[in-house]
Amino acid sequence: MDAHNLFEYQGCSTKNLPPLSHTNDPQTSFDAAGRMIKAGKINRQENRVLQAIKIYQNHLHYKDFTARELAKAASSWLDYYTIQRRLSGLRNKGKIERTGEKRDGCCVWRLK
């Protein structure tokens, strides 16, 4: 059985994608990640983060952002931890990229 999108079970191929759980995490972490994927929660969160990025850029006219800046702007409907965890998935899907800069200790991102 092949791994689901960005998820890794022991013995499954990962197709060079990062897992949602670390290999030394307990089985409960793998199970929780699997449930999130099956329920579509990961994709919904990624879409919400991508929507927040677009709103942030359109309204504030900034070309780049950090997870912290985005969370501050979208604080009423999206929290920092959700944003931070979904940025790498959006990067892996080719939607965003890192600029190579850091601001206030956070990586700076931009839409591709």
Token pair listed for 43: 């994709």
| All domains in the chain, ordered by first residue | 41-111 (1.10.10.10)
CB-CB contact of 108 with 101 (8 Å) = yes
pLDDT tens string, the chain, 112 residues long: the values are 334 444 443 433 334 444 677 788 888 888 888 888 888 899 999 999 999 999 998 888 889 999 999 999 888 889 999 999 999 999 999 999 999 999 999 999 999 9
The Cα 69–Cα 80 span in angstroms is 9
Token pair listed for 66: 């950090």
